Each structure stands twice: as C-alpha cells, then as structure tokens.
Amino acid sequence: MHNTIINRNLTSRHAALIIALLASISFLLGGCHSSKPNDSGKGREQTIHVGKGSKLGRRIAEEAMTWIGTPYKYAGTEKGKGTDCSGMVLRVYEDIAGLKLPRNSAHQAEFCKPLRSDEVEAGDLVFFATGSDPSKVSHVGIMVDDRQFVHASTRKGVVVSDVTTDYYTRKFMMYGRVSR
C-alpha cells in the first residue's frame, strides 16, 4: 500500500510537471497572429544577400538585416530589445533615410507608392493582411531582394522569410516604395 501511495504521488507530480511544461510551451508559441514563423530556411543555414536597388534602398535592407534576432514586442521599436513589424520599419527608415513613417502598417501602406512585383528592389516594403480582416493591411516587412523580406514575427522575433511561400502568397496585399 505504501508503494501505491508513493507511485500515485509521483504520478501526480509528473502530471503537474507535464501540465506546467505544456502551458509554458503554449505561452511561448502563442501570441498575436500577425505573422507566420520564418520558413524561408526550412531548418538549414542560409546566407542572404541584398539584391538590386538604389544605394539608399540597399542600406535600408542591410540595416533591416541587423535587426534579425530582435525579440517581438508589441509597440516596440528597439533593435535588440523588442519590436513589432511596423516599429522596425519606422525605426530603420528614420535611422537610415531620415524619413518619418506612420506608426502602423496600414498607414505605412498608404504612405507608399504601390509597386508591381517586377519593380521591387531592396529596401521596398511588402504588406500583408494577416489579421481578422482579410482586406486590411496588418503586417509589413522590408524587402532584401525580390523574394526575401525582413519582418517581426510574433513567434520568432525579427526573421527573414520568403514572400513566395503559400502562407505569404495568400496573405499578400501589396509592395510599396517610400518616396526617398
């Protein structure tokens, strides 16, 4: 009987530990649905090179890449400390181009000249509708080349993703260029 009591206690302790562990994992993986985790590398190391563009556009893309690894923080704008998608775009454009962009992604889209996909260059912006309204811009990233973009993922922080993946193709709204 004594062994049964010990086994039940160990089992309940294990169950409590497993529940706590699962809750922690759910919390870490949760968050706003404004972007999908980085899927451009499919688990392998890759080198990203800045594509064609103006000298300023290339500098903007290069600066955006220095933000990779910054944690996601709603309403944040600090490299290395925490940012959301529009906060990173706002700060990169302000620091590199001296331009003050609107604070949210929908207003940033309105601030841009729309582009066709064959016009996209390094430093241009890409906009998605990832929120509950499929017709409203809710996410933004900075293009590094004609496919890769840097953005703040709610789950992984600032990452590089591929605009041609199924997820981003479905959520795509527009490309835009800020008048520089």
Better pLDDT: 43 or 60: 60
Confidence grade of residue 179 (pLDDT, cut at 50, 70, 90) = confident
Strands 148-153 and 113-115, how do they pair? unpaired
Strand ranges (E), 22-166: 77-78, 82-83, 113-115, 125-128, 139-143, 148-153, 157-162
Closest CA to 69 of 151, 162, 167: 151
- Both 35 and 21 in one domain: the answer is no
For residues 67 and 19, membership in a common domain is answered with: no
Examine the domain organization and report whether 36 and 125 are in the same domain: yes
148 within 8 A of 52, measured Cβ to Cβ: no
Longest Cα separation, the chain: 79
> Which residue is it, tokens 């309940």?
12
Q: How many domains does the chain have?
A: 2
Q: Is the pLDDT of residue 16 over 80?
A: no
Q: Are residues 146 and 57 in the same domain?
A: yes
Per-residue model confidence (pLDDT) at position 11:
56
Res. 68: pLDDT tops 90: yes
Is the domain of 138 the same as that of 148? yes
The rounded distance, in Å, linking the Cα atoms of 66 and 83 is: 13
The tally of CA atoms less than 13 A away on the side-chain side of residue 55 is 0
Residue type, position 112, single letter = C
- Band (pLDDT 50/70/90 cuts) for residue 78 is very high
29: pLDDT strictly greater than 50? no
- Same-domain pairing of 53 and 76: yes
Q: What is the CATH number of the domain that holds 61?
A: 3.90.1720.10
Q: Are residues 85 and 173 in the same domain?
A: yes
Domain carrying residue 5 = 1-30
Residue 93 sits in the same domain as residue 49: yes
Would you name the residues annotated as active-site residues?
A: 85, 139, 151
Residues 49 and 15 in one domain: no
Q: Report the pLDDT value the prediction gives residue 75, as an integer from 0 to 100.
A: 97
73: phi then psi, degrees, rounded to nearest 5: -145, 115
- Give yes or no: residues 17 and 39 share one domain: no
Does one domain contain both 58 and 145? yes
Write down the pLDDT at residue 49. 87
User: Which region among 36-40, 98-102, 123-127, 170-174 has the lowest average model confidence (pLDDT)?
Assistant: 36-40
